[in-house]
Structure 1
Amino acid sequence: MPTLQNGEKKLKDVRESNIALVINLMRKFGICSRAELSKASGLVQSTITSIIDSLIKAGIVIETGSLVGGRGRRSIGIRLNTEKLIVLGIRVTRSSYTLAIIDIFGELKNLEKHSITKDLEDPSVFERILEDASTFLLKNDQKPVGVGMALPGPYLINEDTSLFLTNQGWKSFTFTKKFESRLHLPVFVEQDSNVGAMGEWWFGNSEIGQGTKVFVSTGDGVGAGIVVDGKIQRGALGAAGEIGHMSINFEGPQCQCGNKGCLELYCSEKAILKAAKCLSKPILDFESLVTEYRAGNSAVTEIVNRAAEMFGIGIANIAYLFNPGVVVVGGSYKKLGDSFLDQVNRTVRRHIYPLFYQNIGLQFSALEHDSCLIGIAAVVFDRLLKKPSFLLDH
């Protein structure tokens, strides 16, 4: 027979689930009424009233004044408090890190960018990030509910370990507990592509409430984040989506990972620049390459088109592996514009079955800010809403 303790736990779990449902609905609605929440959630009015009262008491929800509903009926408008529902985002690349305060709607409130002058695997790099994060919070007088970190490599979530690719191969690092101890906040770490995928799912403009969406991050490397029905697909260890190390040429050049012919050796920003530096008039940075490409420089166009073709082969493989409804391309490739995406599309069309191609939407990210930065808010709140009572107690 179920014990009283089990019954109380079940009731508590139901309330947690209901609170999370209400917060997610308010995130989608913006300003709304209690009656609208009751109708959308299927919860009775008394349950909605109880939940909203507790959220108002915790400062998570605020009232906005009168709303006029159907038949001229008036009700009190409510919305999520974006001064309270904020996170500290830490976006790390191999050359820089960005600190930002981001609210539950993905809006940036404060932002600071720092250069990294040492190898990312140097322990002093993360010591410096931790120091700067502490100073950033004090300077901006912010009290986030959690911290999220987006890192350029697989994060083995069950082992709380991040992997970075070095000249000596993969190296593992563990630092989450140190951040939690210093910042006195829950810290959630994710691979940057997964963060970008969640950012697109929560804040992107494509109308997909369920199904499969893939976000492809481009820059120093190439990675993919896969989200199915709002959940990140991490795989057995947490390394799913490492498409940059998917071989597209078994006889190709050696990669640092130990494989040959990896995708990112042909179509990462680093690979494109490597080819551009060998031109009669060498191009040394990506911004200059974009300028020359848009100006119609034939030599640069040939390099970019070759990269687009290889990237398209990678997207075609993604289409067969995950059969996504939407593939969103983010990162540095956005700067190359629609002509680049058209070339990728043509390659994808040539390499997959027509029915698959007709049912896949390939597009650049439409978000104003970096998906792998604002997506940190999506990752943190998605995790915290598994047990939203934490937000009420925070």
Structure 2
Amino acid sequence: MRRQNLALVMAALAAHGPSSRAEVAERTGLTRAAVGSLINELAAAGLTTDLGLAPSGRVGRPGTALALSEQGPAGLGLEIGVDHLGACVLDLHGTVRTWVEIEAPNRGRAPRDVLAELGDVAAAALQHAAAQGLHPVGAVVAVPGLVDAAHGTVEQAPNLGWHAVPVAKALAEWLPAPLRPVPLEVENEANLGALAELWHAASRPTDFIHVSAEAGIGAAVVIDGRLFRGARGFAGELGHVPVHPDGPQCSCGARGCLEQYAGEQTVLRACGLSDAGGDRIKALTDQALGGNPRVLGALEEAGRALGTALAGAVNLLDPSALVLGGAYAELGEWLLPGMRKELAERVTVRPWSPEALQLSELGRRGPLLGAATVTIRRIIENPARYADWRNTHERNAVGR
């Protein structure tokens, strides 16, 4: 019961911001005495802070304003992309306090070298966070591939050229010392992008399909506010849904996969921009804005392929929305017309509104933001578990 009540108080502060004990009691249905005791426990764990007297507009003595702490425990997100590495730190309010991102050509690169450089990026983020009084208590790594989350292993990441890489175990060697006792997890980047939409985007429904692209195409399904993972955790491989069964061979070994029609490399090749350096999505956007007919044609074809693949998912799952994230969000102006056309022609057995096809507000920031938010959500939903972990960690530190 106490664990549940601690979570109620944390949720009330997270949802409503600074509040008096009386306001928290009113919102949670707990007594003021119970709230006072719970607040003391949360404060001892470094989760809440006292902001001083705050007039409430009511008769009587003003209450003390309480809020989630802006210092102390934080969430760390790390990302391995085909062309970049990133790290970010969020405080308990879900506010980004540190964001570090560097270009890194990771395609075909040895995992050990990638993870060593990611360790350097994490160290830079940790140093900046520490200067603000923050210390990450959980870390999640976003990776573009099939992930065995239970073992922290990347089973397949075709666009990186990785197979059976124990990322969590190997990365621990390269993390700065303060992060080594911290729980480290690995998750698919499309899943984290979808969770970021659920947690951070305004007015997002609780059931939707999130589609994102970097070098490959990933998707994630959210049902009733929960991520649908599938029997083995591999749900969402939209990039390898066949669009034309007799089409060109894909890197996965099958033929006619969506990635062969709407993947980044395919679109760049069709536009004659395969050798473009730097930010290739920006190069595509600039060319499209300039009216390059070859680029406009390639993006229209990519949109139609995406619409064809997603029509089946809409007919099967009946989501409230389709959300284009990642690089697709930046190319949405040119992808959406072809997508809408295919969806209108192929989703015929149920009502379908063009407004249900939406662009992400988070874009390419989604996976990294989602990775950092995982830890914050867990603390808010189960502060007692965090307090237990903190006490154990401190005892172990004293023992050493």
What is the TM-score when the length of structure 1 is the normalising length? 0.85
Q: How far does residue 171 in structure 1 lie from its aligned partner after superposition?
A: 1.3
Task: Check the 8 A contact 1:212/1:323 in 2, yes or no.
Answer: no
- Residue 119 of structure 2: which of 120, 130, 134 is its match? 130
> Deviations along 1:256-284, whole A, 9 cap, x unmatched?
112211112111222210111179xx977
* C-alpha distance 197-168 of structure 1, shift in aligned 2 (>3 A): closer
* C-alpha distance 387-29 of structure 1, shift in aligned 2 (>3 A): closer
- Equivalent-residue separation in structure 2 for 1:107 and 1:188 (angstroms): 21
Aligned to 1:65: 52
Is the counterpart of residue 296 in structure 1 residue 291 in structure 2? yes
- Equivalent-residue separation in structure 2 for 1:20 and 1:314 (angstroms): 41
CA RMSD, Structure 1 to Structure 2 (Å): 2.8
> Deviations along 1:135-172, whole A, 9 cap, x unmatched?
54246534211111111112112343212334898711
- Equivalent-residue separation in structure 2 for 1:97 and 1:168 (angstroms): 13
* C-alpha distance 120-387 of structure 1, shift in aligned 2 (>3 A): farther
Aligned to 1:221: 216
Is the counterpart of residue 248 in structure 1 residue 240 in structure 2? no
Aligned to 1:56: 43
Unpaired segments of 5 or more residues in structure 2? 391-400
Aligned to 1:150: 142
Letter in 2 for 1:28: A
Letter in 2 for 1:102: L
- Equivalent-residue separation in structure 1 for 2:53 and 2:262 (angstroms): 54
Is the counterpart of residue 109 in structure 1 residue 109 in structure 2? no
- Equivalent-residue separation in structure 2 for 1:346 and 1:378 (angstroms): 35
- Residue 76 of structure 2: which of 88, 94, 106 is its match? 88
- Residue 154 of structure 2: which of 119, 144, 162 is its match? 162
Q: How far does residue 369 in structure 1 lie from its aligned partner after superposition?
A: 7.0
Is the counterpart of residue 97 in structure 1 residue 85 in structure 2? yes
- Equivalent-residue separation in structure 1 for 2:8 and 2:351 (angstroms): 34
Is the counterpart of residue 338 in structure 1 residue 325 in structure 2? no
SS of alignment partner, residue 355 of structure 1: coil
Q: How far does residue 71 in structure 1 lie from its aligned partner after superposition?
A: 4.2
Aligned to 1:205: 202
Count of aligned pairs: 377
> Deviations along 1:52-87, whole A, 9 cap, x unmatched?
121122221112234444645633222111222412
Moved more, 97-106 or 198-207: 97-106
Task: Check the 8 A contact 1:106/1:374 in 2, yes or no.
Answer: no
Unpaired segments of 5 or more residues in structure 1? 1-13
Aligned to 1:31: 18
Aligned to 1:376: 371
- Residue 186 of structure 1: which of 183, 187, 191 is its match? 183
Task: Check the 8 A contact 2:300/2:337 in 1, yes or no.
Answer: no
Task: Check the 8 A contact 2:285/2:331 in 1, yes or no.
Answer: yes
- Equivalent-residue separation in structure 2 for 1:36 and 1:312 (angstroms): 48
What is the TM-score when the length of structure 2 is the normalising length? 0.84
Moved more, 39-48 or 50-59: 39-48
